[in-house]
């Protein structure tokens, strides 16, 4: 069994050319067979792939999971009136806010890039799944580990697609025979089944993976990665309205009501040549490229909420663009190589609170919400202990704990609250779903 250390992973992550892209070049012309050990062909990994080639695919999958994350986050955050992205592209303050009665464009970067980024990771995961079926290099247990990892990633990425687009194409393994785009409910049901399949694979993967993972500290063996699988399963169950399923999955995840709220897997970044940097980091007081906090997020915060001062900072001078203005800017990430959370314990505590409300376990929900409140320097919840009141409180805590993390637009949509958003300028519109890219229209 061959495994890479963290430094190896970073080196490969910065240099890997994705196999999915290379596959599209293979039919252009014919050459004598050449073997490049650093850039294997698609055919080379689909037939008798080595452990090293399989592990390169794992690295490529992790790297692709970061693709266009910043665009998806700022686009949904703008539509949900969490933030403005002040930069050189007028569509960020025009299209996304429905300026002058306009509509969203299904062939613009904010609709095509997030979809493409998520499906790049899914494509690479499907290549890994195909490759392990056609190689004798890995043992049955090792193959089960690769399967469990790949299927879990596919499910995670599909949930992110559903949050923005409200629909997703599930069957994409064969690019020449794509399956239909499914609506939210049907797609989510398939995602949940895929997560259960992945967990079964992980259960048969033995004590260790044949590969190493970056950003999954403490969750990098079949059994501990299974905790991530169950965390994703809890989120999927919650979004499916299945409170008992969510609570059950949380019990097998790394959810810890009294534990470190920052615990969980992360996307990693570096300044190495060819690698990614964190696209959500912005230079303090920068005028040309800045995430500006929506004034309502500041105004609506409870007095003493430390999330306001830790996630944002007051600009030296308020800034204005396209008749929009703001006093605060993002301070969510300290540097351009700060990691971005995939699914941290704080979100799982909020998932537990929401599932407990749905299950009518109202004291459990209140206890969980108090954990989040106290961590933000706030006193215990003092409102009524009714399902409606606790739901309002839960959504408010999600609003502040998960600011600028691609949650708010979806939360408002699933609770039919999008119409409560403020209108920033006369003629602006409220959108809560990104348009499916033009290239995907059936």
Q: Are 29 and 49 in contact (CB under 8 A)?
A: no
> Does residue 433 form part of some domain?
no
* Candidate from 2-16, 281-295, 309-323 with smallest mean pLDDT: 2-16
Please state, in angstroms and rounded to a whole number, the distance separating the CA atoms of residues 119 and 105.
20
Residues above pLDDT 70, as percent of the chain: 90
- Note the pLDDT of residue 33: 40
**Burial (CB count <10 Å: 0-12, 13-18, 19+), residue 188:** buried
**Burial (CB count <10 Å: 0-12, 13-18, 19+), residue 22:** middle
Long-range contacts of 4-7 (CB under 8 A, 24+ apart): 4/55, 4/59, 4/211, 4/212, 5/212, 6/212, 6/214
> Does residue 316 form part of some domain?
no
- Note the pLDDT of residue 287: 85
pTM (two decimals): 0.92
- Note the pLDDT of residue 306: 98
> Does residue 116 form part of some domain?
yes
> Does residue 166 form part of some domain?
yes
Angstrom CA distances, 323 to 99, 105, 192, 319, 424, stand at 11, 22, 44, 10, 9
Q: Are 230 and 281 in contact (CB under 8 A)?
A: no
Average pLDDT, rounded, for the chain: 92
Mean pLDDT of 357-361: 98
Q: Give me 412's structure tokens.
A: 């408002």
What is the extent of the structural domain holding 167? 6-28+40-270+340-422
> Does residue 53 form part of some domain?
yes
Q: 45 falls in which pLDDT band (50, 70, 90)?
A: confident
Question: How many independent structural domains does the chain possess?
Answer: 1
Ordered alpha helix ranges (H), 65-138: 69-79, 109-133
Is pLDDT of 77 > 90?
Answer: yes
- The CATH number linked to 164 is 1.25.40.390
Please state, in angstroms and rounded to a whole number, the distance separating the CA atoms of residues 203 and 205.
6
* Candidate from 36-45, 209-218, 226-235, 265-274 with smallest mean pLDDT: 36-45
Q: 274 falls in which pLDDT band (50, 70, 90)?
A: confident
Please state, in angstroms and rounded to a whole number, the distance separating the CA atoms of residues 189 and 10.
35
> Does residue 348 form part of some domain?
yes
Question: How does pLDDT run across 8-26, given as a tens digit for each residue?
Answer: 554 455 444 344 333 333 3
Is pLDDT of 144 > 60?
Answer: yes
> Does residue 442 form part of some domain?
no
- Note the pLDDT of residue 24: 35
> Does residue 382 form part of some domain?
yes
């Amino acid at each position: 069994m061959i495994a890479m250390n963290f430094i190896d992973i970073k080196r490969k992550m910065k240099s890997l050319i994705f196999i999915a892209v290379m596959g599209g070049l293979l039919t252009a012309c014919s050459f004598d067979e050449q073997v490049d050990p650093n850039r294997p062909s698609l055919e080379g990994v689909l037939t008798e792939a080595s452990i090293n080639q399989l592990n390169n695919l794992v690295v490529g999958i992790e790297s692709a999971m970061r693709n266009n994350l910043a665009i998806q986050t700022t686009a949904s955050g703008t539509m949900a009136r969490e933030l403005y992205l002040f930069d050189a592209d007028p569509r960020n303050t025009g299209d996304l806010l429905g300026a002058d009665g306009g509509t969203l464009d299904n062939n613009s970067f904010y609709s095509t890039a997030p979809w493409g980024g998520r499906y790049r990771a899914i494509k690479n995961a499907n290549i890994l799944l195909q490759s392990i079926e056609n190689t004798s290099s890995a043992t049955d247990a090792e193959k089960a580990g690769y399967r469990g990892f790949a299927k879990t990633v596919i499910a995670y990425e599909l949930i992110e697609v559903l949050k923005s687009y409200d629909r997703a194409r599930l069957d994409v393994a064969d690019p020449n025979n794509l399956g239909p785009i499914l609506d939210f409910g049907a797609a989510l049901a398939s995602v949940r089944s895929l997560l259960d399949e992945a967990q079964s694979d992980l259960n048969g993967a033995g004590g260790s993976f044949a590969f190493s993972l970056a950003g999954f500290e403490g969750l990098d063996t079949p059994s501990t990665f299974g905790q991530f699988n169950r965390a994703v399963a809890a989120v999927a169950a919650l979004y499916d309205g299945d409170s008992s399923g969510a609570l059950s999955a949380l019990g097998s995840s790394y959810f810890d009501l009294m534990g470190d709220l920052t615990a969980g897997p992360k996307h990693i970044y570096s300044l190495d040549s060819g690698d990614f940097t964190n696209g959500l980091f912005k230079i303090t007081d920068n005028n040309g490229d800045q995430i500006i906090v929506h004034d309502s997020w500041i105004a609506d915060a409870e007095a003493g909420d430390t999330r306001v001062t830790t996630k944002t900072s007051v600009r030296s001078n308020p800034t204005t663009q396209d008749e929009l203005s703001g006093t605060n800017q993002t301070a969510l990430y300290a540097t351009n190589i700060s990691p971005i959370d995939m699914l941290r314990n704080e979100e799982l505590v909020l998932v537990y609170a929401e599932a407990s409300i749905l299950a009518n376990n109202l004291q459990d929900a209140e206890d969980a919400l108090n954990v989040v409140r106290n961590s933000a320097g706030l006193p215990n919840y003092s409102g009524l202990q009714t399902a409606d009141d606790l739901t309002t409180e839960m959504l408010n805590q999600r609003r502040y704990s998960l600011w600028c993390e691609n949650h708010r637009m979806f939360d408002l949509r699933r609770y039919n609250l999008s119409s409560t958003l403020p209108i920033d300028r006369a003629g602006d519109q409220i959108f809560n779903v990104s348009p499916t890219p033009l290239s995907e229209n059936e």
